[in-house]
Amino acid sequence: MSHSTGSGNRDHSASVRFSQFQHSSAFKFPSEPRDIFTEYKEASYYYGGQLHDSISDSIGLKSPSYKLAHDRSHNNKRDLLGSDLYQGWENFVPLSPEILDSSRCCYQWIDKWEKANKRSYSQRSPYVVISPRHYLVDLTMQLFQGSKYSILCTHLGDGKIVLSQVETNKKSQQPSSRNSAMSKKILHSGYALEDLLTRGPRVEDDPFFAIVEAKLDANISLVLRCELDSYNELTDTFTELKCYAPLNMHNSYHREKLLKTWIQLAISPRCDLLIGVRNTQMGQLQDLQYFTKRELYQKINNRNLPRSPKRFNFNADVAVQWCQHCIRSICKLVGDNVDSSSPQCFKLSIDESHKIQLEKLKHIPAHVKLPTH
């Protein structure tokens, strides 16, 4: 893959048709999940505005919840069940978009790596994708949701591509007054579950991140920012905490939700899952359900579930292949259309037919943060 081409075929190369996506059958169910990356390792951690070599004590799972990885009996849940996860919802403020979108910690880690190794990180491979994890999750889930999805891809130079959100009209994103209270309660319940199960204290607007190095193939490396909820000392694994209403695997929306959760785990370092099941109306914790990454895979990739051909059967193996396809498409489209050594920004869109298209922007939007060095 080259980082630039002549302009003669630029219009032709600015899209990838869905017919170019090669994938396995949505109705095959391998016993073991397919890996997204060929290489994957935790490189650093980020909290308190700094890089760290050690995990923050504040995200440690408290007793008895950490025991659920080995013993899922009622005894390890009893003292927690009935907790009010809606308490304090009126004062809840979600993370700011600036924090959600930021790749600052990835820039800091790359800068540290380059100073230690005395060479450019770009020498690892022709392309380096830099991104918060959730953009890869969102790109992957577009295949199963069928709605249009857009993201910004900024070429920093030397094959480095950073992913950022497309700014939206904030007024149009506001929930209606009728639904805003319940939406806020549901959002708050996830943070309340973290406070209930972890040592804390949690600092507002200071989540815990792992910086992850990954390789898709010889051409593409990634530096990813993965927000992690908790750490289990007994298993030496991170535990993703999710707060859901009771799940029904015959419900398409619930299957989609669990597939998205599995993709999140698949992109995360040594991670398992603890679901807090809440009563939707009252917000009380009804149950705690623990899954390893493999157990969750087997729950969603199950031949006994109803078929859903239009949604690719919510097949996790197809999801992995689509994630890989999206990453390769980003690198190819940006690489084929960049024509300057200075940073350039592109809007990448996936339409309802899953065609991937690239549009060059005249300017880099102000909210896209570039490395400062």
Q: Is 1 within a domain?
A: no
pLDDT digits (tens, 9 = 90+) for 125-154: 999 999 999 999 999 999 999 899 999 999
Q: Is 174 within a domain?
A: yes
How many structural domains compose the chain?
Answer: 1
- Percent of the chain scoring above 70 in pLDDT: 93
Q: In whole numbers, what is the pLDDT of the chain averaged over residues?
A: 92
Q: Is 371 within a domain?
A: no
274: nearest Cα among 302, 312, 306, 234: 234
Q: Is the pLDDT of residue 208 over 60?
A: yes
> Looking at residue 242, what is its pLDDT?
98
98 pLDDT band, cuts 50/70/90, is confident
Q: What is the pTM of this model?
A: 0.93
Q: Is 223 within a domain?
A: yes
Q: Is the pLDDT of residue 315 over 60?
A: yes
Q: Is 179 within a domain?
A: yes
Report the pLDDT averaged over residues 105-122: 97
Q: Is the pLDDT of residue 82 over 70?
A: yes
Q: Is 321 within a domain?
A: yes
Q: Is 369 within a domain?
A: no
- Domain limits for position 344: 10-360
pLDDT digits (tens, 9 = 90+) for 5-24: 443 333 445 999 999 999 99
pLDDT digits (tens, 9 = 90+) for 320-370: 999 999 999 999 999 999 998 899 999 999 999 999 999 999 999 999 999
Q: Is 368 within a domain?
A: no
pLDDT digits (tens, 9 = 90+) for 249-302: 999 999 999 999 999 999 998 999 999 999 989 999 999 999 999 999 999 999
> Looking at residue 97, what is its pLDDT?
82
